[in-house]
Amino acid sequence: MNSNKIYIFDTTLRDGEQVPGCKLNTKEKVELALA
């Protein structure tokens, strides 16, 4: 990776889906992705 750049890997949706009892429907996922 170039040392002059910062890379951000947003895993919010993937990590959130792995939490027991935490499920987002398609509409909620799209809203979160667009925020």
3-state secondary structure 1-35: CCCCCCCCCCCHHHHHHCCCCCCCCHHHHHHHHHC
CA dihedral sign, ordered 18, 23, 27, 32: negative
> Tens of pLDDT along 11-29?
877 877 788 888 888 898 8
Distance CA 2, CA 4 (A): 5
Query: Is the entire prediction scored with pTM above 0.75?
Result: no
pLDDT of res. 27 = 93
> Residue 33: CA atoms inside 13 Å, Cβ hemisphere, count?
9
